[in-house]
Amino acid sequence: MDNYVITIAREYGSGGKTIGKMLAEELGIHYYDKELIRKASDESGISEAMFAKLDEQLGRKPLFKLSGTYTGEVLPPESSEFTSAQNLFNYQAKVIRDLADTESCVIVGRCADFILRDRPNVLSLYVHGPFDYCVEKTMERHAGTMNAEEAAKFIRKVDKQRAAYYKYFTGRNWKDADNYDLCINSSILGWDKCVSLVKAYLEIKLGYKLSTATKENEPKA
């Protein structure tokens, strides 16, 4: 059986991260989010902090596309552009492609849908929800430390950063449905049914039934 990958882009508060974890647990495959930064750091020798700051830095810049065409090639340490935004992205992209080559997994964020866009065994998912719903879920997630106004401000900031990151490296609109195989309003179905829907969609796309996690095939920590 070939490897398959589920990529997830998500609005903050929509539950996309939770849905991704639930999918990984249901299917007995690995879930990758911030782990991608650690892997890219290990691969390149560049500190994790530099990768982590990339999102925030791009969120403060105008939305524009890089002048160069993305090729996925990483630059060596002796290059003057070794720690450039483009090379940091390329190292993350290399990690994502290597994972897709070697295992089935769920990958959240990092423009994974764009990086793996030409692969037939990839399901790209966008999870969203009404703004009021995302505000409510954000307040719940932060355990009462945010009121509605603070949660709304936080959501706008995070989603702006995500949109800027996506635009900068892909030249595309992060919220454009054309980028994805499947767009889900998580407030309508709830997270459990979203998991069932994504699994059913992936089985149709791949043409075979997916096995679910057991003690023997659960992903190891």
pLDDT mean over 84-110:
91
Determine the Cα–Cα distance for residues 127 and 180; give it in Å rounded to an integer: 10
How is residue 74 written in tokens?
A: 């990483």
pLDDT of the residue at 54 = 73
pLDDT band at 143 (very low <50, low <70, confident <90, very high): confident
pLDDT of the residue at 196 = 95
Angle between helices 131-141 and 148-170 (to 10 degrees): 110
pLDDT of the residue at 132 = 95
Hey, how many other C-beta atoms are within 10 angstroms of the C-beta on 87?
18
pLDDT of the residue at 4 = 95
Give the residue, 50 or 122, on which the prediction is more confident. Answer: 122
Q: 153 pLDDT exceeds 50?
A: yes
pLDDT mean over 8-12:
96
pLDDT of the residue at 134 = 95
With H, G, I as helix, E, B as strand and everything else as coil, classify residue 152: helix
pLDDT of the residue at 219 = 46
β 182-185/105-108 pair status: unpaired
Domains of the chain: 5-206 (3.40.50.300)
Give the residue, 192 or 53, on which the prediction is more confident. Answer: 192
Kindly report the average pLDDT of the chain as a whole number: 86
Tens-place pLDDT, residues 68-94: 445 567 877 777 778 788 888 888 999
Q: 26 pLDDT exceeds 90?
A: yes
pLDDT of the residue at 63 = 42
Q: Going by C-beta distance under 8 Å and a sequence separation of 6 or more, which residues neighbour residue 164? A: 58, 59, 61, 63
Percent of the chain whose pLDDT exceeds 70? 87
With H, G, I as helix, E, B as strand and everything else as coil, classify residue 65: coil
Determine the Cα–Cα distance for residues 146 and 180; give it in Å rounded to an integer: 32
